[in-house]
Amino acid sequence: MKISGSRTDKFLQKPADDIIGVLFYGPDRGLVKERAEALCRVFVQDPNDVFATTVLTADDLQTDPAKLSDEMVAMSLLGDARLIRVRLDHERPSAAIAKLIKAFDVDPKTAEAKLIIEAGDLTPRSAVRKAFEAAGHFAAIGCYLASAGDINALIRSQLTAKNIGIDRDAIELWMPLLQGDRSLLLNEVDKMILYKGDGEIPNTNVTLEDVRTLAAGGQTGTIDDIIMSALSGRADKCDGAFRRAVAGKMNSAVILRSLQRHITRLMEVRSQIDAGNSAESAMRSLRPPVFRMQERSFSHHLQIWPTQLLRRALSQSIEAENHLKSAGAPADAITSRLLLALASYAQKRT
């Protein structure tokens, strides 16, 4: 079946009990990921539990066409709900997937797991899309780029939730810069919220100058320099970039949140590598994609930082951010100490 429009949110909150699987596809890969993760939390209690969730790629299914079928009929060892997530980066295994969907739709009781497929922009002729849309126990949900009205409403709702307003000329300048992937849009709005005090300063408004300074890229290079240098073990370069950021009145919380985002992306790729996928394939599946100029540094970080240490770095970053919220906390000193500690570890690994 095809789910669209206002039916989508209601479906994601409570899909029918007889729904076996859902295909999320479309040009907005950020929205594909966001909706898929929301449904994962409906299907299983803990989507990160390796016993509850199995992650497959298009390459896995091309190498072993029977793998998805085997996973779908395999019973849980603990009797809990199971989930299969497929990242369909190409459509070479589409015929096999379509055949499988038709078979389970005819005999749904044979499916022991729920299925979520995340794909890019599939045409109406796509075998996978056609199979999901034609089935009664499967659903297809398109994820399309937001309109100008949607972007306006999303910006205002995110800011309003933090009691932050925005000037009319500021949003008119900002909106064209945020068109595209939903996850990039949300990241930029989140960065602006932190820049404006995370809702802790009353009567705060985003101004035209704020957009020009932050959203138009005035500080992006500095943040990237700080984070890439820290995790690469270049302490001197990291410290220099951090000092320039402090001199430019950058909020330390913005840096920590950006650090957390980068570490989370590294963990996502590392989990795929640990599951047997190549680093190149895992990086290609990341959404939003790694900037071309940062691919070498990102790959280098994967070599330096194992999963366990990434988890520890993320935990320390979150702890540091919590300390910043204490009255009178030396925000710059706390952030600098963490960054230099990360750089020191990375330097030992290079």
**Domain boundary, last residue among 142, 173, 189:** 142
Does the structure show a pLDDT above 60 at 220?
no
Cis-peptide, bond into residue 202, ω within 30° of zero? no
User: Does residue 197 sit in the same domain as residue 174?
Assistant: yes
User: Does residue 207 sit in the same domain as residue 321?
Assistant: no
- pTM above threshold 0.85: no
The per-residue pLDDT for 327 is 65
User: Does residue 226 sit in the same domain as residue 322?
Assistant: yes
User: Does residue 238 sit in the same domain as residue 339?
Assistant: yes
The predicted-structure confidence for 93-122, as pLDDT tens digits, reads as follows 999 999 999 999 999 999 999 999 999 889
User: Does residue 224 sit in the same domain as residue 305?
Assistant: yes
How buried is 329 (Cβ within 10 angstroms: 0-12 exposed, 13-18 middle, 19+ buried)?
middle
Alpha carbon distance, N-terminus to C-terminus of the chain: 52
The per-residue pLDDT for 184 is 73
What order do you get walking across the sheet with 21-25 strand by strand?
2-3, 138-142, 21-25, 114-119, 83-88, 53-57
The per-residue pLDDT for 292 is 72
**Domain boundary, last residue among 142, 171, 192:** 142
Considering its fold, how many domains does the chain have in total?
3
**Structure tokens, 21:** 């699987």
Q: CA separation (Å) from 140 to 39, 99, 114, 222, 334?
A: 13, 16, 14, 41, 47
Does the structure show a pLDDT above 60 at 218?
no
**Domain boundary, last residue among 193, 215, 237:** 215
User: Does residue 128 sit in the same domain as residue 76?
Assistant: yes
CATH of the domain at 177: 1.10.8.60
Mean pLDDT of 175-202: 81
Does the structure show a pLDDT above 60 at 345?
yes
